[in-house]
Chains A and B, each alone.
Chain A
Amino acid sequence: MEDKKHVNINKKKAMRVLLATIFVLGTLFLLQRLFMPKYMTDIVEGAMIAEYYEEEKNHDVVFVGDCELYENMDPVYLWEHYGINSYIRGSAQQLIWQSYYLMEETLKYETPKAIVFNVLSMKYNEPQKEAFNRMTLDGMRWSASKINSIRASMMPDEKFLDYAFPILRYHSRWQELSTEDLEYFWTKDKVSHNGYYLRVDVKPAENVPEGKILADYQFGSTAYAYLDKMRDLCRSHGVQLILVKAPSLYPYWYDEWEEQMDQYAQTNDLPYYNFLDLTEEIGLDFTTDTYDAGLHLNLSGADKLSDYFGKILQQEFEIPDRRGESVLQTAWEPKIKAYEQDIERQKKGEEK
């Protein structure tokens, strides 16, 4: 009788401890959700990586890389004019090891016919800045790829635990919480169009500075190692890796860098397109086709580039026209509508 009483008391105690633990963990989870940046009205680029997971994953072309892809290539144009089903897994200052791990992760979800990588990030051989790391890494779902990407990306003063439990990193935001943090607590709006950051405004490129003299033009060994890993990863999955350099006038792309990319592409039998050398052929006019003085293209420029590259994708790489597929057609309808609404809204100068 006495033993039974003790057992009951112990059970009650265990239950209380369990409930208290659940309560504390639940509170921490909710606080973490509250404190993490939402990237909805401020730096929307930080919300792009996470949007991919909501997608139907049967793309024929996946673009992986930095702003030179997500602001210069337009998947909606590629669909409407070529029937190419594509997606951009882009983020601001995406470093080459981050691109590699995004590719690796993408190939766990789907096997596209081609992956397109923008080579500007070859210029970085070490981690650069936590704020940019966060915009790529926080949006990734947990996987071995994310863990490895965090490890490769961390600055010397960053800690893995801060990525595993972002509340450790963001708790000081409690002083800066805004209505955005409450409004997007559970759900977020889409900020991109299949990864494309759409801008319709115009700011002509004038007085673009020459590149300053560098002590060493050689791309770093880490950058090359990850490019090799991309090549091998794509080959092992039967995916065509296509290297591109977007036609951005700034940051400066040096001739010495171009020679190295040409050499790499030839040695490894990879296609490489430097669109900077093809601006006339593409029809780009940097007085009308850029919204930030030559760093990125606006919609007019992105559509010219997408038109040029769409032809290459179909003629050189046999990417199919899938406009006849009813499932895809249905999936694209609301996307096209949202895209057109975004264009209208921006032309009227309205806030989102």
Chain B
Amino acid sequence: MKKKIVYIITAVILTAGICMGCGSDDTAVISKDDQTAQTESQATEPEQKNSAEATPEAAVDGYVLITEDTIMAPDMDMAPVLESLGEPVSYYEAPSCAFEGLDKVYTYDNFEIDTYPDGENDKIAAIILKNDMVETSEGIAIGDTLADIEAAYGSDYEVESGMVVLTKGDMDLKFIVTNDAVTSIEYDSKAGDAQ
């Protein structure tokens, strides 16, 4: 009888161990609160980047866009950026299928900012330049050429689906070049893409 009890207890401990013991490897759980299957490292990284809110662009790992007094970059908290930029020309909220939270689109005269929900906050998912009235911090605007891009950023870039992609930190800076003219410039967050 004693042996049986020992067997049962051993089996239960082993089963519980299988279920819970290796839990640290698997932090991805599908729930509305999480929005998505994120790893802990992915989830905490944008928090670290928030330091960019209070400090200048040097604190941001990736490329930044500077317009007048506003510094913005993917994964930055949208609230201080919005405060600095003021009301957009138009605003759209797009709930994602199934998951709670809103992807928001703020359209200004010369650029558009898309955000993704991250807990209580909205983080910048993408900044898309709309015309040649605004240029990247390195001086590239819509209408420039591939040679201009290479002069500003060097030739260490990838070409993905016809786009020139420069990766820095956890973001991509993407240029669509058509007939040797830049037709689109987008700052894109990898964390935002995962939402």
Give A residues with C-beta under 8 Å from B.
Answer: 16, 20, 23-24, 27-28, 31, 35, 37, 42-43, 45-46, 66-67, 92-93, 129-132, 134-135, 167, 169-176, 206-209, 212-216, 250, 292-293, 295
Contact = CB atoms under 8 A, between A and B. Distances in A.
Contact of A27 (B12, B20, B94, B161): B12
Given A23-B8, A130-B30, 18 more contacts: A23-B11, A27-B11, A28-B18, A31-B15, A37-B30, A43-B30, A43-B98, A67-B98, A92-B97, A170-B29, A171-B20, A172-B27, A172-B28, A208-B92, A209-B92, A215-B162, A215-B176, A216-B161
Given A24-B11, A27-B12, A134 B30 contact: yes
Q: Which 8 A-B pairs have the closest CB atoms?
A: A92-B98, A215-B162, A207-B90, A92-B97, A213-B184, A45-B98, A215-B163, A172-B23
B14 interface: yes
Contacts of A172: 23, 26-29
A59 to B, nearest CB: 24
Contacts, number: 109
A50 B48 CA distance: 40
Interface string B177-194: 000000110100000001
A24 B15 contact: yes
Nearest to A203: B93
Nearest to B3: A16
A167 B19 CA distance: 7
Given A20-B11, A216-B162, A37 B31 contact: yes
For this complex, into which size category does the number of interface residues on chain B fall?
35 or more
B37 interface: yes
B40 to A, nearest CB: 11
Contacts of A207: 90-92, 107
A292 B92 CA distance: 11
B166 to A, nearest CB: 14
A169 B36 CA distance: 14
8 contacts: A24-B14, A24-B15, A37-B31, A171-B18, A209-B92, A213-B183, A214-B176, A250-B92
Interface string B136-167: 00000000000000000000000001110000
Given A23-B8, A171-B26, A293 B37 contact: no
Chain B CB count within 10 A is highest, among A135, A172, A214, for A172
A295 B98 CA distance: 12
A130 B99 CA distance: 13
Nearest to B39: A157
Nearest to B175: A215
